[in-house]
């Protein structure tokens, strides 16, 4: 019976009325309840949210069964995954009205739902409600909170929650530390990730393969391949057999370091060790070769992906576009874009930005502007709206071409769309004036940058120095940046 019910909801899961009518006809014996629960759990494993909602709502609204906490939790989870917060909250209220006692999983699911929708103040309210009810948040609840904040890229809030967790003497576990290593890694703070890893071991908490992979990833994002190698080796010494995720993380380290051959060697090692590369492995290879300007090798990796029976994703096409854009092969970029459309994919912002960059690098500003206009209009054939990176491409292209008025107009448009300029935007804008040796204007833009709360990186320092015409200006620039940046030595390691 369970298999019949599963097939029913999988084939007609979006037609709730039809599924409910069929379920109504089944005698509601105890065996059916067991089958319904098993089906819902299987749907959860398959991440089939709509069918879960259909089944669980039938239990609540039409069946003679009394829903238990598992049913309510599945419903809250499904609505949360679909970002239907009002429905998730309604399920929680129904749970309370039915005098069903919430579990720590219930609160954890609510936290994930709120964080996933960017409702951080409401997530904090879940913790407050637990405390008002005399229920101290456990590691399960806090880990769900950290996971939601990680996915929402709210690193500062995640650190705050982690510190609160320790202050309240909530027992941290392997998942907690792994999450925090990921939080710092995604915030481009690999040494903080390492500090958490060492803290973890110092309190006797044993890292698992996910922990090691998270730390490899933290170093990989910064292209610190030697550090990533050290962690990878330590993982093996600890008795963990590297899986495809660990190999991919190490490949990424070499890719970001500009060492495509190293990434290729790790790919070969993975195959030699009997670990089958996945689509992400090939994407990393395409990216590694593309970053190094080896567009033919990037193309070969892309074709190999298809030969292995894998379907290229939007990201696969975007990485190939970027590779050919770097080499100035606009014609091939346009072919890739056509392939993307032919595959039934609507190009997203990342792919469109790569195409914009190709036009900009080739000096085809009219084509760049036409594509940008289509993005602004939201043409049906594309799925990407302009983001900060889009404007970065425009600012950089106009600046390189010497069209300063157009560059400034693009810069102003960024704020008009409610987007914030990042360090790349400001540096590109400064770079345009630096090419003309307009030192005073460079300093004025730099001051605007600082006033806006954006801090310079090594690229900004190099561009400012390029604007200098004499030693006095060089020393002035160094003094200005050193006075406001904690890591001046890194900035000026030129």
With H, G, I as helix, E, B as strand and everything else as coil, classify residue 324: helix
Residue 264 token pair: 């290729």
CB 105 within 8 A of CB 141: no
- pTM attached to this predicted model: 0.81
Separation between Cα atoms, residue 339 and residue 170, nearest integer Å: 52
Separation between Cα atoms, residue 142 and residue 197, nearest integer Å: 18
Residue 169 token pair: 């003497």
CB 151 within 8 A of CB 175: no
For residue 417, which of 446, 394, 387 has the smallest C-alpha distance? 387
Residue 150 CA, distance from chain mean position: 9
> What letters, b where the CB count within 10 A reaches 16 and e where it falls short, cover 250-274?
bbbbbbbbebbebbbebbeebeeee
Residue 76 token pair: 């809250």
pLDDT block averages, 10 residues each, the chain of length 494:
69 75 76 82 89 88 87 94 92 92 91 86 88 87 92 91 92 96 95 97 96 98 96 97 98 97 97 96 97 95 96 93 91 93 88 93 95 87 85 96 96 92 95 93 92 87 90 87 57 38
Residue 51 token pair: 């069918």
User: CA of 484: how far to CAs of 429, 443, 451, 465, in Å?
Assistant: 20, 14, 11, 16
Separation between Cα atoms, residue 285 and residue 303, nearest integer Å: 11
Q: What's the pLDDT score for residue 30?
A: 65
Q: What's the pLDDT score for residue 485?
A: 56
User: CA of 121: how far to CAs of 7, 103, 138, 338, in Å?
Assistant: 40, 21, 19, 44
DSSP state of 276: P
CB atoms within 10 A of CB 6: 20
Residue 17 CA, distance from chain mean position: 36
Helix and strand element counts for the chain (H, E): 29, 0
Residue 65 class from Cβ within 10 Å (0-12 exposed, 13-18 middle, 19+ buried)? middle
Beta-carbon-side half-sphere exposure of residue 114 (alpha carbons within 13 Å): 19
Q: What's the pLDDT score for residue 1?
A: 59
Q: What's the pLDDT score for residue 208?
A: 97
Separation between Cα atoms, residue 44 and residue 111, nearest integer Å: 18
Separation between Cα atoms, residue 460 and residue 430, nearest integer Å: 8
For residue 368, which of 351, 352, 387, 344 has the smallest C-alpha distance? 352
């Amino acid at each position: 019976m369970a298999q019949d019910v599963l097939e029913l909801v999988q084939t007609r899961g979006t037609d709730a009325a039809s599924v409910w009518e069929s379920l109504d006809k089944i005698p509601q014996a105890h065996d059916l309840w067991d089958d319904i629960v098993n089906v819902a759990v299987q749907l959860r494993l398959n991440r089939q949210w709509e069918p879960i909602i259909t089944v669980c709502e039938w239990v609540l609204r039409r069946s003679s069964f009394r829903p238990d906490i598992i049913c309510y939790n599945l419903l809250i989870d499904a609505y949360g995954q679909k970002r239907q917060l009002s429905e998730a909250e309604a399920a929680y209220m129904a749970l309370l009205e039915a005098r069903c006692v919430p579990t720590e999983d219930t609160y954890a699911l609510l936290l994930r739902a709120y964080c996933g929708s960017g409702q951080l103040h409401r997530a904090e309210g879940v913790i407050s409600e637990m405390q008002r009810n005399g229920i101290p948040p456990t590691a399960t609840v806090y880990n769900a909170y950290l996971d939601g904040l990680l996915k929402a890229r709210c690193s500062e809030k995640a650190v705050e929650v982690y510190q609160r967790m320790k202050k309240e003497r909530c027992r941290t576990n392997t998942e907690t530390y792994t999450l925090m290593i990921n939080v710092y890694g995604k915030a481009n703070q690999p040494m903080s990730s390492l500090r958490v890893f060492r803290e973890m071991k110092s309190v006797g908490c044993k890292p698992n393969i996910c922990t090691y992979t998270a730390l490899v990833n933290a170093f990989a994002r910064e292209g610190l391949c030697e550090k990533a190698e050290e962690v990878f080796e330590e993982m093996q010494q600890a008795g963990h057999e590297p899986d495809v995720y660990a190999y991919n993380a190490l490949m990424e380290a070499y890719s970001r370091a500009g060492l495509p051959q190293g990434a290729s060697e790790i790919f070969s090692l993975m195959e030699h060790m009997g670990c089958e590369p996945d689509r992400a492995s090939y994407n990393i290879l395409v990216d590694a070769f593309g970053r190094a300007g080896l567009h033919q090798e990037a193309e070969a990796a892309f074709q190999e992906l298809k030969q292995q029976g894998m379907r290229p994703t939007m990201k696969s096409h975007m990485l190939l576009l970027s590779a050919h854009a770097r080499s100035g092969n606009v014609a091939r970029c346009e072919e890739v874009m056509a392939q993307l459309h032919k595959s039934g994919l609507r190009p997203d912002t990342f792919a469109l930005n790569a195409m914009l960059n190709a036009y900009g690098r080739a000096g085809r500003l009219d084509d760049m502007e036409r594509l940008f206009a289509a993005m602004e209009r939201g043409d049906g054939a594309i799925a990407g709206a302009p983001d900060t990176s889009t404007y970065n491409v425009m600012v950089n292209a106009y600046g390189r071409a010497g069209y300063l008025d157009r560059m400034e107009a693009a810069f102003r448009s960024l704020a008009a769309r409610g987007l914030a300029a990042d360090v790349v935007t400001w540096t590109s804008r400064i770079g345009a004036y630096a090419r003309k040796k307009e030192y005073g204007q460079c300093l004025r833009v730099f001051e605007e940058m600082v006033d806006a709360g954006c801090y310079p990186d090594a690229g900004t320092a190099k561009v400012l120095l390029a604007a200098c015409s004499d030693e006095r200006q060089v020393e002035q620039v160094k003094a200005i940046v050193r006075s406001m940046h904690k890591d001046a030595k890194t900035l000026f390691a030129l």
